[in-house]
Amino acid sequence: MSIFQSLKDHLNGEVIDTILQESLELESGKGLTLEDKLLVIKYLLPLTPSLPKSTLKNVFRLFNKDITLLSQLIRFTQDLKGANKEKSLLQNFIIEYISTTHSILYEYITALPLKNNKFQRNSINAIFFGSQLFNLLFDEKGTFTILDYLTILTNQWKFLIKVIKNSSTFKQWNTLGGFLSSLLSFHPKYTSSNIIDGIFLNTSTNFSALLKLLEQSSMLDRSRIINNFVLVSLKLKCFPNNYTTIHKILKKLFNIPKYFIDPQTIVNLKLLEFQEIVIRSITDISESKKLIELLLDLFKETSIYSNSIDEDTQNETDDRITKLLYICLEYNFSPEERLELSHHEKFLDCVTYRLGNKNNDMRERTMFLAKFLTDGGLKYETNFELKIPNIALADGFGDIDFTSLTETSLEKVAIKDTNQLSLMSKKVTQLSLQDSDDEDSDDEDSDDEDEDAKVGKDRKYIVFLKDLLGEYLNTNQNQRNDLVSLLKQTVKLVRQKSLLPLEVSYYSEELIKNIVALNNNFEEKDFEQWRINALISLLVVVPDKVNDLYQLLFNSDLSLQQRMSVLSSVGLAARELRGLDDANVMKPKFDFPSKRLPWDKPATTSNQIEDISNRSLVKDGTTTWKSKKLELASSKLSTKKNEFRKCANNFFYPLANGWLNGIDLGSFDKIFKAHYVATLRIVYSCANPVHNYEAMTQIMEVIVSQAMEQNVPLDM
């Protein structure tokens, strides 16, 4: 009879401790039967919330001994339909187990047979890196997210590497490459940062563990880990103070037996400084020749297809390919080898094709390279010069200083603080609610009335939002309209209605849709700036309507200018809600609705009360008294409250997900993406302090990393 049968009848602490102790003392290989596992799951686990810590640790140790027990628990929990208490209890147990017990992965891997272990390896992969665990635990409400799960996996790997890196008894090195490749593919952006940067490129001993892991991995896993993850991670850290460190790391990686870097991978890296370091780190001449073969093919293709693609794009691509050829020939080939290549049939074929191209720069690059290969033997007079980084690199085989790599890419691009991020707001030109030809006046009400009268010449004075919406609906964009005056009235009326958010909310969806859809067909002055201000006014009064704005941004066929205006309004509205001032954002103050309407002028002034505040009641002077409470009240009113915290998630996450899902605007892609990332940085900065700011930071790091990979300018 199984020792676990007594769980059915004797559920007390002493019996449970005895059962656990006996099961843990069983010899290796004498694991639990299927019946025992079901008894543990059905009768023991429901008691875990009330068990003492010592007993709970023994339960965790029981799971550490047998991966099939964890697998059975996952299947049992998945079979429980709906959201019931039993399922929730088991999910919470699993989360506590994998979060607090960092040795799980180590225990399961060390228990693998040295041979014929494919089934066990597949089980580990499926549970941890094939999303079995994550799919079971993920909660759409945000109580358990992908970031939580990746943090758990990172801790598992940290423990694993810490134990095995100096171990002489660990025998399963040849299995780690497959597990690491699966983990990095599970979520490439997050895991690459956490695992490659946070563990392997952190200390010399951890890096040595990576080298040993790669040496004993399959060729496929080895190439996938280095080409898809390690190189990408190093590229994001490629700054002048890191050049030599990266060079030394690459030298060691490229010296791993039977590792061959794919030449196309080098071409795809795009960052020229990093490409130079990678090329100069190649020590095998056969690998350099493979790279030259590919580059010559591309060198020819840019000429063949020159008439079918955009000329600027072709010229930029050709410049990059030529520079890569120049770098490889300069540093990886001797003068004799370069001279031999100048007579090679493939190179001569390239020259023939390229000299017939109508692009002068392309012909100049061709002759520059030919002259370089012949060491000046080719007589061709020109002032053309091909500039490459020519990085000064120290010896590639010395000790590696990993400290310079510990700074995150986010720190390198310096996400500025909230005040510094006002750079974006400066792009909105100085505006005034008064027209340029109005006379200046110290009397605000007088200015407003003057402007109201002026607007009335072209458009009726609007008091109600329904009338404002009617104006937009009746606007014919094929005819000349005073759209700027309509946008000005939108700013004024929405700001006046700031204390009536329900009314603004009722009309905001249609207003936002119509404002975004406007086109400045007749080139009205300051049109875009007033469009942005109108959208800001709506978002500040009803911040939840940012979702309607995002619907238009992601699902409507908008022009580039319309999209840029939407992003600008989101960033500047976030700053205003955060309590930050931008001089270029119009925030007029009105006494509406207490002020009389324009057509409701008082007939007489006979009932006015005479102001005697300035009359001298005492001949020689007056005594003035002012309560301190008034000063206190005034100071309180002037304090700007952070209204952004409660809506930060609505502003940030849809915008972040839009980036992560992919953006492609063709030839305008980089311009739009630069503005997109700048807006995200503003929203992210304004969100602090929000309860999930750390999660936002991790997402922001991924977005910045992707932007750098795509050569999106981040110095806005």
DSSP secondary structure string for all residues of 675-706: HHHHHHHHHHHHH-S-TTHHHHHHHHHHHHHH
Which residues, in sequence order, are CB contacts of 613 under 8 Å at separation 6+? none
Name the CA dihedral angle for 490, 493, 496, 497, rounded to a multiple of 10 degrees: -100
Structure tokens at 420: 């510094």
Where do the domains of the chain lie?
3-211, 237-407, 420-596+642-709
The dihedral through the CA atoms of 549, 554, 555, 556 has a sign that is positive
Which residues, in sequence order, are CB contacts of 382 under 8 Å at separation 6+? 364, 367, 368
**Cβ count near 142 (within 10 Å):** 11
- Give the HSE-up count for residue 416: Cα atoms under 13 Å, Cβ half-sphere: 14
Give dist(CA 16, CA 22) in Å, integer. Answer: 10
Give dist(CA 295, CA 507) in Å, integer. Answer: 59
Residue (of 103, 109, 153, 112) closest to 131 by Cα position: 153
Place of tokens 């017990």: 101
**Cβ count near 82 (within 10 Å):** 5
Per-block average pLDDT, block size 10, for the chain (716 residues)?
A: 66 77 69 84 88 91 91 92 85 95 95 88 92 86 83 95 92 94 86 88 93 93 92 86 91 86 84 92 88 88 64 81 93 91 88 83 89 81 85 81 67 42 44 41 44 47 83 73 87 89 87 90 87 93 92 88 92 91 76 51 44 41 48 47 88 90 75 90 89 85 84 70
Q: Return the DSSP state at 514.
A: H
Q: Distance of CA 190 to CAs 92, 150, 185, 205, Å? A: 24, 8, 10, 23
Say which CATH topology domain 420-596+642-709 has: 1.25.40
Q: Is 380 left (phi over 0), alpha (psi -120 to 50) or beta?
A: beta
Task: Tell me how far apart the terminal alpha carbons of the chain are, to the nearest angstrom.
Answer: 73
Residue (of 503, 575, 506) closest to 536 by Cα position: 575
Give dist(CA 684, CA 160) in Å, integer. Answer: 34
Which residues, in sequence order, are CB contacts of 626 under 8 Å at separation 6+? none
Task: Let me know: does 61 contact 70? Beta carbons within 8 Å.
Answer: no
Structure tokens at 371: 């002259």
Q: Is 113 left (phi over 0), alpha (psi -120 to 50) or beta?
A: beta
The dihedral through the CA atoms of 326, 332, 336, 338 has a sign that is negative
Place of tokens 């693609």: 309
Q: Distance of CA 379 to CAs 157, 317, 341, 367, 385, Å? A: 60, 27, 18, 10, 15
The predicted pLDDT at position 10 comes to: 61
Reduced to 3 states (helix: H, G, I; strand: E, B; else coil), residue 53 is helix
Task: Let me know: does 670 contact 715? Beta carbons within 8 Å.
Answer: no
Give dist(CA 587, CA 18) in Å, integer. Answer: 72
- Give the HSE-up count for residue 301: Cα atoms under 13 Å, Cβ half-sphere: 9
The predicted pLDDT at position 611 comes to: 42
Q: Return the DSSP state at 31.
A: -
The predicted pLDDT at position 469 comes to: 86
